[in-house]
A and B are shown apart, each in its own frame.
Chain A
Amino acid sequence: MLNRKGIRRNRRWNFGLPSLLVVLALLAAGLALSQTQTAKEVKCTPEPAKLNPYTGNPKAVQEGRQLYFKYNCSGCHSSTAAGGMGPNLVDAAWLYGGTDACVFESIKMGRPKGMPAYGSLADDEIWKIIAFLRSLYRGPQEKAVW
Chain B
Amino acid sequence: MKGFGSRLWVIGFLSLFVVLFSPGRANPELLSLQDSLGQWALPGKNYAGWRYSPLNQINTTNVQRLRLVWSFSTGALRGHEGQPLVVGNTMYLITPFPHTVYALDPTDGSIKWRFTPEANPQAAGVACCDVVNRGVAYAEGKIFFNTLDGWVYALDASTGKVIWKVQHADPSKGETITAAPLVVKDKVIVGISGGEFGVRGRVAAYNINNGQRVWLYYNTGPDAEVGIGPRFKPYYTWLRGKDLGATTWPGDQWKLGGSTVWGWFTYDPELNLIYYGTSNPGVWNANLRRGEATITNETQTRWANLWSTSVIARDADTGEMVWALPMTPHDEWDYDGVSESILVDLPIGGQLRKVLVRFDRNGFSYVIDRTNGQILAAKPYATVNWASGIDLSTGLPIRNPEKGTGQGKTTTDVCPSLLGAKNWPPAAYSPRTGLFYVPALNVCMDWTGTEVSYVAGTPYVGAVTLMRPGPGGHTGELIAWDPVRMQKVFEIRERFMNWSGVLATAGDLVFYGTLDGYFKAVDARSGQVLWQAKLGSGVIGNPMTYTGPDGRQYVAVFSGIGGVPGLVVIQDAPPDDPYGVFGVVGAVGDLGRYSRQGGTLYVFAVER
Which residue numbers of A lie inside 8 Å of B, CB to CB?
A: 69-72, 74-76, 78-80, 82-88, 90-91, 93, 112-116, 138
Contact = CB atoms under 8 A, between A and B. Distances in A.
B124 interface: yes
B125 A76 contact: yes
A85 B127 contact: yes
Nearest to A76: B459
B581 A78 contact: yes
Contacts of A91: 572, 574
A74 B285 CA distance: 14
Nearest to A112: B121
B125 A83 contact: no
B125 A114 contact: yes
Secondary structure class of chain A's binding surface, majority of residues = loop
Contact of A82 (B128, B452, B457, B580): B580
B450 A87 contact: no
B464 A85 contact: no
Contact of A85 (B455, B567, B574, B579): B567
Contacts of A80: 577, 579-580
Given A69-B452, A84-B571, 5 more contacts: A69-B450, A71-B453, A83-B580, A85-B125, A116-B458
B582 interface: yes
A69 to B, nearest CB: 6
A72 B571 CA distance: 18
B464 A74 contact: yes
Contact of B451 (A69, A79, A84): A69
Contacts of A82: 571, 573-574, 577, 579-581, 585
Contact of A71 (B123, B125, B126, B455): B455
Interface in B562-598: 567, 571-574, 577, 579-583, 585
A76 B458 contact: yes
B129 interface: yes
B279 to A, nearest CB: 16
Given A82-B581, A138-B574, A116 B125 contact: yes
Contact of B461 (A75, A88, A115, A138): A75
Nearest to A139: B574
Secondary structure class of chain B's binding surface, majority of residues = loop
A96 to B, nearest CB: 13
A113 B124 contact: yes
A70 B574 CA distance: 24
Residue picked from A72, A91, A115, A138, most chain B C-beta under 10 Å? A72
Contacts of A72: 452-453, 455, 458-461
Interface string B349-361: 0000000000000
B122 interface: yes
A71 B264 CA distance: 33
B196 interface: yes
Residue picked from A78, A82, A88, A91, most chain B C-beta under 10 Å? A82
B122 A84 contact: no
Q: Which interface class (under 10, 10 to 19, 20 to 34, 35 or more) fits B?
A: 20 to 34
B122 A93 contact: no
A115 B459 CA distance: 11
A113 B459 CA distance: 15
Contact of A83 (B450, B459, B460, B581): B581
9 contacts: A72-B455, A75-B458, A78-B579, A82-B571, A82-B579, A83-B581, A85-B129, A112-B122, A113-B125
Nearest to B452: A72
Contacts of A87: 571
Interface in B144-165: none
B573 A83 contact: yes
**6 tightest CB-CB pairs across the interface, nearest first?**
A114-B125, A75-B459, A83-B571, A82-B580, A114-B124, A79-B464
Contacts of B459: 72, 74-76, 85
Contacts of B580: 78, 80, 82-84, 88
Contacts of B572: 83, 88, 91, 93
Contacts of A90: 574, 577
A113 B452 CA distance: 24
Contacts of A138: 574, 577
A146 B571 CA distance: 21
A83 B457 CA distance: 18
Nearest to A77: B571
B123 to A, nearest CB: 8
A35 B50 CA distance: 53
A61 B376 CA distance: 54
A86 B452 contact: no
Contacts of A86: 125, 571
A80 B585 CA distance: 12
Contact of A88 (B121, B123, B574, B583): B574
Nearest to B127: A85
Interface in B427-476: 450-453, 455, 457-461, 464
A55 B476 CA distance: 42
Contacts of B573: 78, 82-83, 88
B577 A70 contact: no
A111 to B, nearest CB: 8
A64 to B, nearest CB: 15
A91 B577 CA distance: 12
Nearest to A66: B451
Contacts of B123: 114
A113 to B, nearest CB: 5
A76 B128 CA distance: 8
A88 B453 contact: no
Contacts of A78: 573, 579-583
Contacts of B567: 83-85
Nearest to A117: B457
Nearest to B450: A69
A58 B572 CA distance: 27
